[in-house]
């Protein structure tokens, strides 16, 4: 019988709607009572690692979660399920995907409706996640996100709707599997990536989104000795308004790594355009293009890389390609 550990961290899946319609955390996690749901199928144990709405989750909690999963694997657990709030689920999932050297299945799930709402999706998603974590075919696929009968990779999944239960989608690439009546069925393989274990997390790694008419003020404000890195969601294939260039050059001159992704929902950033502020000029200035990640994921990867002590060309190589 497979040994599955469920780690609860809070979020809507652990909350209830009160009489006024407000969704709030309760004194206890309602999911802790459902281990018997899997009796006779799996050897399931549960822990409440913390009980936080996902906007309260920081990289420090992500690191604690990563360390606990490592301990579980060393103790002989066959798979791990993490329940998490959906607002920042993709960031925690990707942090784990980057830092865990484990081969056991690690599956993250959550809910868009609280435990006592009509049509609550939490318990069903939890059951689907446990089935996935217990499946031999889920081994070695990186961290997975299981929601609404679909299986996505932590590397590329993103939240696309504020309230819909089908909110988690993988732009460009699509899900790698689906839930069937008796379990999970995979139909795609994810290219492998090397784990980057860390023992601590740094701070002051920022994310900005480019917009029409953007000037250099925000970039200038971030040109500080304490700034460790910056990710910019650029327009289109990877371009910035020319007014940003002087401040951008100063950041690079001060050895602050600047990572560029596209703000577009689909596609990858690449240095195509040769006009002022175009991707080719940005690359020549020293901006690092990161392909395949959205802004929040690129920030997590930069934070992990810097926390591991990567810099210079080593950091650039680490950041440049998320697809392989």
For the annotated catalytic residues, the residue numbers are: 12
Going through 105-235 in order, the beta strands assigned E by DSSP cover 106-109, 144-147, 150-153, 158-159, 168-169, 177-180, 183-186, 205-209, 229-234
Q: Which residues contact residue 199 at a Cβ distance below 8 angstroms, ignoring those fewer than 6 apart?
A: none
Q: Which two tokens stand for residue 79?
A: 């798979």
Cβ proximity of 283 and 254 under 8 Å: no
Q: How many residues can be counted in the chain? A: 324
CA distance 148 to 150: 6
Q: Which two tokens stand for residue 156?
A: 């590329």
Beta bridge partners of 305: none
Q: Following CA atoms 27, 28, 31, 33 in sequence, which dihedral angle do they give, to the nearest 10 degrees?
A: -140
């Amino acid at each position: 019988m497979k040994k599955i550990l469920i780690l609860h961290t809070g979020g809507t899946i652990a909350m209830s709607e009160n009489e006024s319609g407000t969704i709030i955390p309760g004194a206890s996690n309602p999911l802790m009572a459902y281990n018997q749901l899997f009796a006779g199928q799996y050897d399931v144990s549960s822990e409440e690692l913390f009980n936080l709405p996902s906007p309260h989750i920081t990289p420090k909690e992500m690191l604690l979660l990563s360390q606990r999963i490592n301990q579980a694997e060393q103790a002989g657990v066959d798979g791990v399920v993490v329940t998490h709030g959906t607002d920042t689920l993709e960031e925690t999932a990707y942090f784990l995907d980057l830092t865990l050297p484990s081969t056991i299945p690690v599956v993250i799930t959550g809910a868009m409706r609280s435990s006592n709402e009509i049509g609550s999706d939490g318990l069903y998603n939890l059951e689907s996640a446990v089935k996935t974590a217990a499946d031999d075919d889920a081994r070695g696929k990186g961290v997975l996100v299981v929601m609404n009968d679909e299986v996505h990779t932590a590397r590329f999944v993103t939240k696309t709707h504020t309230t819909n239960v089908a909110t988690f989608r993988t732009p460009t690439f699509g899900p790698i599997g689906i839930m069937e009546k008796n379990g999970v069925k995979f139909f795609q393989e994810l290219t492998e990536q090397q784990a980057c274990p860390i023992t601590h997390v740094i701070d002051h790694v920022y994310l900005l989104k480019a917009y029409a008419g953007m000037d250099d003020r925000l970039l200038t404000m971030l040109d500080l000795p304490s700034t460790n890195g910056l990710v910019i969601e650029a327009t289109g294939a990877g371009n910035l308004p020319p007014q940003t260039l002087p401040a951008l050059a100063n950041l690079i001159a001060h050895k602050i790594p600047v990572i560029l992704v596209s703000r577009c929902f689909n596609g990858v950033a690449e240095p195509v355009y040769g006009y002022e502020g175009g991707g080719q000029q940005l690359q020549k200035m020293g901006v690092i293009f990161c392909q395949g990640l959205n802004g929040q994921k690129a920030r997590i990867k930069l934070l992990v890389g810097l926390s591991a002590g990567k810099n210079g060309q080593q950091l650039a190589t680490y950041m440049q390609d998320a697809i392989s």
